[in-house]
Chains A and B, each alone.
Chain A
């Protein structure tokens, strides 16, 4: 009971910490605009393959979901016996792939904040773009269960990315302020966000592995 209570307290404090956070808002705006752009590009066949779908660090869920819905692309109709082609090849993805790409993408978004936050913004945009382009393909060709799993995993991944990006942007802006005022100040909330990122990334790794890879 005490464990559940402390976990709930931690989650509540994390939610409180991210509320009214301008850096988180910036990260979410970048992500959502890029997502809409990526989705539009894929929906109108401006691009006929997911943007940077091969690069797992940008958006690992595309490669994880890919073997499941290639059958859907092949069938293109509700043919009798279509379940045989639900997963047309063995996934080349393993636990290391899932762990590596989730950890590195979070570290990348946070770590590149030291370069005045510019690479963080660029990577956040690329994640949104790639995720938008990928999800259009999954929705169109995957079965309902795979599509629902992918949307759920996308949501948890976006939370991790938004939090990581907000930390990166905050670090970047703190460095810019340091150049201007010769003072290095960081809000204490950043530590709560960092803890939340670590927890969510670990949960994401487990969920992605269990739901799509295992």
Chain B
């Protein structure tokens, strides 16, 4: 029995130490993270102002300054992911109203896409304005506090006939203002100060917070039950 164990351990050591195993890891890395110098590059400076009022109605204005630094044209998409159906959504590309392709629209998930083409060594300005009801996280619904999450709904995807892979460098600068005092606010790549959350020079950010509430309706029935139990106990004790 001991002999078999030694053989199995030796086999596993051989397998882990084999050059084939190491080669697979190196190859996967090579595919996922291409060499920066050889890759086409698009820079996107994204500035935004987000205002969420006390009724959780969110008004957002995003401005994207996208620059193509290559000497060939690049085509791509701006994808907008949302957790609800927006009341209004408008996208302007260089001041002109763009066609919004609705990929999916439901009260749990909505996705929109706008096609953009960028000429060689030039910039375009894209403005995304929308109004949407900010919904709480639906799998964790507290009666005393509802949890909210915010991150950028904007995603950029580019391609070119010349290059297989185009790297996009996004940089976010903006401000999120809440119409109420948030509780248990946690912030990644941003600074929170009272009702205001500031994002500066960051490639990614997300914010989680809770909105306190009092469950009046459920509380009334709970009080009725408590009084019922108390009445029964007092009646029986006499």
Contacts and interface: CB of A to CB of B under 8 A. Distances in A.
A202 interface: no
Contact of B218 (A36, A73, A74, A139): A139
A85 B219 contact: no
Interface in B40-57: 54-57
Contact residue range for chain B?
A: 20 to 34
Which of A40, A73, A89 lies at the interface centre, i.e. has the most chain B CB atoms within 10 A of its CB? A73
Interface string B30-74: 000000000000000000000000111100000000000000000
A155 interface: no
Contact residue range for chain A?
A: 20 to 34
Contacts of B107: 70-71, 74, 85, 88-89
The secondary structure that dominates the B interface is loop
Interface in A37-55: 39-40, 42-45, 48-49
B153 to A, nearest CB: 17
A76 interface: yes
Contacts of A135: 221
A45 B145 contact: yes
Nearest to B134: A74
Interface in A82-129: 85, 88-89
Contacts of B108: 89
Interface of B: 54-57, 84, 106-108, 133, 135-136, 138-146, 211, 213, 215, 217-219, 221-222, 225, 229
